[in-house]
A and B are shown apart, each in its own frame.
Chain A
Amino acid sequence: MPIRTVAVASSVGLHARPAALLAAAVNDSGLDVTVALPGGDPVDAGSILEVMTLGAEHGDTVTLSAEGEGADAVLDSLVELLSRDLDKE
C-alpha cells in the first residue's frame, strides 16, 4: 500500500481550516486515505472530525496511506498540501 510521511507545515497544526482542506481533498479524490501520528492509530483523512481530533501540531510528522487506482498521485498531492502553511492562504 502506498505510504508517504510529511511534516505538518500549518502554523496551527491540523486544526479547523487545514483539516477541512485535507478532508475535502481526500473526498474529491474518491479514495480511502488514512492519516496517523507516529505510533498512533490511523484515522480517516476524509473526515474533518477525525483529522481535527487527531490533534496533529505544527511540525508533527504524519503518515498518509491510500489504496486504489492513482493512490500514488493522490498521496503526492496531499503531501504537497500539508507542506504548505494552509492557515496563511
Chain B
Amino acid sequence: MTSTHQVLHGIGVSAGTASGPVAVVHPAPGVDADEPATTDAVAAGERVRAAMAAVSDSLTTKAATAAETAKPILEATAQLARDRGLAKAIDKLLGKGVGITRAVADAVADYAEMLKALGGYMAERATDLYDVRDRLICELRGVSAPGIPDLSTPTIIVARDLAPAETATLDPDLVIGILTAAGGPTSHTAILAAQLGIPAVVQVPGIDTLTDGEIVAFDGGVGEVILAPTQADVDLLAERSRRRSAALAGSSGEGATRDGHRVALLANIGTADDAAKAATFDLEGSGLFRTEFLFLDRDSAPTLEEQTATYTSVFESFGKRRVVVRTLDAGADKPLSFADLGAEENPALGVRGLRLSQAREDLLDTQLQALAAAYRATGADVRVMAPMVATVDEAEWFAAKVRGVGLPSVGIMIEIPAAALRSEHLLSVVDFASIGTNDLSQYTMAADRMQGGLASLLSPWQPALLQMVKAACEGGRATGKKIGVCGEAGGDALLALVLTGLGVSSLSMAPSKVNVVRAALRLHDLATCQQMAAYAVDARTAKDARAAVTAIVHPTLLDLL
C-alpha cells in the first residue's frame, strides 16, 4: 500500500529533521504454528544449545565493534542468550513433548513474568529477554534475525518498537531517522536515538503499516510526520528545524530570565532509574520525586532497608543538586493492598495523600526514617514535602515529624484551593511549597481529571487556576518562602513565563522539556513575565488568557512551541 499525503503526530524524542525512504523492521516470526511435537528431547535440547551459542556469539561480535553506549546492552543480552537456567527450563518443556520454538517462547514467558513481578530494573530486563527469544526462534527456524536490515543508502527506520539491542547497533551514517508506533519518551530507544543524534519520533499511530521504500519526512523535535511529502513540506521542516536549533543554541546552565531573575529548572521523577536518566540532563535537580512506585502493586509495605537503598541511589544520582521528595501519595484511586481503608464514594475527596499518612502513621514514619538515613549517608540537598495538605494543623503535624528525624527542609504541596488561599499561614510553619497544578486544577474547577470530556475545564490556562497560583505566591512573598510548580504546566514554555511572572521560583517538568523552557525564559525579562501574568489572570476565558500572552511573546519563542 502506498500512502497518500498525510500528516501524523507522535512524540518527538530526538530533535532534527529527516526525509527519505523508509525500511520497515518486521516483527519477529514467532512460534512455528506447524511444528511437530518433540519426540527426541535430547536432540532437540542440543539444537537449542547450539542456537543459543550462535545467538550469543553474534551478539558478542556485535558488541566488540559497537559504540561505548551500546556495548554493555549487547554484552548483557549476549549473556542472557547463553543462560543455563533458560536452557534447563527449555529442556523441561521439550521433555514433555512441547515443540521446539514453543518451548523457547514458553520458557522465556515464565522468566519474563517473574522479572516483571520484581518491577523496576528487573522488569526492563524482560524486554532484553524477549529479544533473546526472537533471535533464538529465528535461528531455530532458519530465517534471518529480526531487526534492522542491512542498509546501503540513507534510510528512515520504521518499526512497531525497537529493542535496545537493535537501536544500539544503528549506524548514524545510514540511519537518518527512527519512527515507531509504540515506545515512550523515556524508553531505551528514545534515549539511545538522542545519544546517537538520530532524529526520532515515537508513538506515531499506524506508522508500522508503511511499506519499504515509501517516502516520509518528519520533525523529531515536535513529532510531526508527513507521509508522501511535497518538496515544500521538506523545505518547511528543514527551515523550522534550523530556526529551532538557532533558538535553542546556548540553552544551557541555570534557568533565568533575560535580566537574570533566577528560576530553577528541575525534573519530575518516579523511580531510581528515572533519577539516573534525569541526572544526565542539564538541569538543577528534581523538583518532584514521587515515591509511590515503591508502595504500589505489592502485598506488604517496603522495608526500611529497601527504601533507604532506593532513596540513597536517587540522591547519589543527583550529587549536590537538590531532590524534592514527596512522601507517599496513595489511597482511594491508588489503593494499597496493605493499607486498605475501605471503598469511598468520592476517592479524590477521600482519605488520600497526607490524610492516609495520618491514618497509617507507621508507613510515614518508616518512610521518613529511610529518607533521613539516605540523607545522612549522602549529605545530599534533600527537601521533603507532603501531598494534599489543607490546613495549618496538618502542615504542623508533618513538619514536626520531618524535623524530628533530622531532615533539613520540609514543605507542602499546594493542590487544594484551601492551601492556595491560606498559603501565608501554611508557609509560616514550613520552609517551602510546591504547587501541583494538575490536582489544583481538578479541585478548583470541580472537574475530575479522569473524565476526558472535562478537559477544557482542566486547561492550565483557566484564569481561576492562575488566580489560585497567584494567591499561593502572595503567601510566599509575605513569608519570604519559595514556591515552585511541579505540575504539567511547568513544562509548557508559555505557561512557564506566566508562572515566573506570578512569582514562582522553580519549575519541575519532564527532563526533555527543560531546554525549551530555559530558552523561553532567556528571551524575556521579569517585567514582561509579570505583564503576561497580569494579562492571563485578568482574561475572561482560558482561550483569551493564552492569546493575550502569545500576543506579547518574543517572536523567536513561537518557533519553539
Contact = CB atoms under 8 A, between A and B. Distances in A.
Pair from one complex: yes
Interface stretch (B62-70, B94-102, B111-119, B231-239): B111-119
Interface in B239-268: none
Nearest to A12: B309
B79 A52 contact: no
Interface string B175-186: 000000000000
B274 to A, nearest CB: 15
B37 interface: no
A23 B83 CA distance: 9
Interface stretch (B22-30, B84-92, B288-296): B84-92
What bracket does the count of chain A residues touching chain B fall in? Answer: 20 to 34
A24 to B, nearest CB: 7
B122 interface: yes
A48 interface: yes
Contacts of A52: 115, 118, 122, 125
Contact of A59 (B80, B305, B312): B305
**Do most interface residues of chain B lie in helix, strand or loop, or is the interface mixed?**
helix
A50 B80 CA distance: 11
B361 interface: no
B309 A55 contact: no
Contact of A47 (B76, B83, B303, B309): B83
Contacts of B111: 49, 53
A44 interface: yes
A70 to B, nearest CB: 19
B397 interface: no
A24 B79 contact: yes
Contacts of B79: 20, 23-24, 48
Contact of A16 (B84, B88, B121, B312): B121
Interface in B286-336: 303, 305-306, 309, 312-313
A80 to B, nearest CB: 21
A23 B80 CA distance: 10
B76 A44 contact: no
A84 interface: no
B305 A48 contact: no
Interface string B46-88: 0000000000000000000000000000001001100111101
Contact of A49 (B85, B121, B305): B85
A18 to B, nearest CB: 11
- Of B76, B80, B85, B115, most A-chain CB atoms within 10 Å: B85
B125 A44 contact: no
Contacts of B309: 11-13, 58
A44 B92 CA distance: 15
Contacts of A46: 84
A63 B79 CA distance: 24
A20 B114 contact: no
Interface of A: 11-13, 15-16, 20, 23-24, 27, 43-44, 46-50, 52-53, 55, 57-59
26 contacts: A11-B312, A12-B309, A12-B313, A13-B309, A15-B121, A15-B122, A16-B125, A20-B79, A23-B79, A27-B84, A44-B84, A44-B88, A47-B85, A47-B86, A48-B80, A48-B85, A49-B80, A49-B83, A49-B85, A50-B85, A52-B122, A53-B111, A53-B114, A55-B118, A58-B305, A58-B306
Given A27-B84, A49-B80, 14 more contacts: A12-B309, A16-B125, A20-B76, A23-B79, A44-B88, A47-B84, A48-B80, A50-B84, A52-B125, A53-B114, A53-B118, A57-B305, A58-B305, A58-B306
Q: Which 9 A-B pairs have the closest CB atoms?
A: A47-B85, A50-B85, A53-B114, A49-B85, A47-B84, A11-B309, A49-B111, A49-B83, A46-B84
